[in-house]
Amino acid sequence: MSTAPFAQYPALRPRRLRQSPALRRLVAETHLCADQLVLPLFARAGRKLRREIGAMPGVFQLSPDEVLREASRAHEAGVPAVLLFGLPERKDAKASGAYARNGIVQQTVRLLKKELPSLLVITDVCLCEYMSHGHCGIVQRDARGAKILNDPTLKLLAQTAASHAEAGADIVAPSDMMDGRVRAIRERLDREGFIDTPILSYAAKFASAFYGPFRDAAESAPQFGDRRSYQMDSANAREALREVALDLAEGADMVMVKPALACLDLIYRVKTEFGYPTAAYAVSAEYSMVKAAAARGWIDERAVTMESLLAMRRAGADILITYAATDVARWLKS
Ligand SMILES: [Zn+2]
């Protein structure tokens, strides 16, 4: 589509269409709508537990009953989906809590699906919160140091995804960035009869400093080293497209780009190139920075949040994963 104007000034005056709110709304190319929002939630064992995360005001680690309360609030405001993370009571070297039949995510999914059947429950599928070392895969140590093993990790990820589906998860979302995980998960889900459970893959996930506050939220900081041997290098856009292509070829139904604001170019390219439902994850620091600046009166929280999400939509995101989802849904109504 050509964007070259047919007329020129003074016949063409773009300001004509900016004269009133109604006129601006009439010609708006992009819209925010509550249907696009996903609220991430952190579940941990207990009852009536709400532990606020220091760097994320308004975001809590919640016991399952409180997850239900938070999810109900979001759902009532119009948010159609939540993305669930789990904090287990115990961690070990094989992430047993990730695929335990009665693990924290599995329990919470059952509760949510029983009490709020119309809420879509997406589960984050990864091992880092459940591993004593905090990495997303199985670690092998030798004289040269530690290595994150790819292929043996796939089985545990697939087992985790299947256990979430068994608990009633509507969508599973692998975030580990191991090679071949989407295929392993698809095969396992199909084998166990969950042929209708979609996979939303964290396809282009960068090793980003914007995840900082999340590590406190999910208590998943690696005990040694970093995640650069599996998460992507922020320098690479073409590689991100290859990652997306691979995940789609392996059976991903939807793909995600993470983080969001720092990757608007990729959201655009992924949507343009592949045309699949594309999610943008506005990660923890994107939220924390807005909260911190707003608390000092430096920015308008609502306006900055809405403008950021609109930018993700303009780039091509269909699904917006944001810690501000409930607020945004309410703002959209007011
Ligand atoms: Zn992980």
327 CA from centroid of ligand 1 (Å): 27
Dihedral over Cα of 48, 287, 260, 2: its sign = positive
Question: pLDDT tens across 203-218, in order?
Answer: 999 999 999 998 878 8
Q: Looking at residue 220, what is its pLDDT?
A: 82
Q: Looking at residue 223, what is its pLDDT?
A: 87
Q: Looking at residue 65, what is its pLDDT?
A: 98
Q: Looking at residue 1, what is its pLDDT?
A: 63
- What is the C-alpha separation between 167 and 29, in angstroms, rounded? 40
Q: Looking at residue 254, what is its pLDDT?
A: 98
45 CA from centroid of ligand 1 (Å): 19
Q: Looking at residue 91, what is its pLDDT?
A: 96
- What is the C-alpha separation between 249 and 276, in angstroms, rounded? 12
178 CA from centroid of ligand 1 (Å): 10
- pLDDT by residue for the chain (334 residues), tens digit each? 677 878 999 999 999 999 999 999 999 999 999 999 999 999 999 999 999 999 999 999 999 999 999 999 999 999 999 999 999 999 999 999 999 999 999 999 999 999 999 999 999 999 999 999 999 999 999 888 889 999 999 999 999 999 999 999 999 999 999 999 999 999 999 999 999 999 999 999 999 999 999 887 888 888 888 999 999 999 999 999 999 999 999 999 999 999 999 999 999 999 999 999 999 999 999 999 999 999 999 999 999 999 999 999 999 999 999 999 999 999 999 8
- Pairing label, strands 145-149, 138-142: antiparallel
> What amino acid positions are annotated as catalytic residues?
205, 258
130 CA from centroid of ligand 1 (Å): 9
- What is the C-alpha separation between 195 and 121, in angstroms, rounded? 17
Q: Looking at residue 219, what is its pLDDT?
A: 83
Q: Looking at residue 68, what is its pLDDT?
A: 98
Helical packing angle, 151-167 and 181-191, nearest 10°? 40
Q: Looking at residue 119, what is its pLDDT?
A: 98
Instruction: Record the pTM.
Output: 0.96
